Amino acid sequence: MKISNETKVGALTAIAITLLVLGFNFLKGRSLFKTGHFLYAKYPDAKGLMVSNPVYVNGFQIG
């Protein structure tokens, strides 16, 4: 079975676009397979904060 030139070009284009998107996200430090966001906050005083205590930012529990 012979594969036409149009099919080869289409497959190569799809692979190239996929690699471009994955490479761009890799360089930005993102992953397509992980969900969630990292939030960073600075507190003037964190005395008494223990492991597994709830952490609030603007009244919302984030951790």
Tell me if residue 61 falls in helix, strand or coil: strand
Distance CA 32, CA 39 (A): 18
Residue 59's pLDDT is: 86
Residue 58's pLDDT is: 85
Residue 5's pLDDT is: 93
Q: Domain spans of the chain? A: 5-61
Q: What is the pLDDT along the chain (63 residues), one digit of tens a residue?
A: 788 999 999 999 999 999 999 899 889 887 777 777 777 778 788 888 888 888 887 888 877
- Cβ 41 vs Cβ 57: under 8 Å: yes
Residue 49's pLDDT is: 81
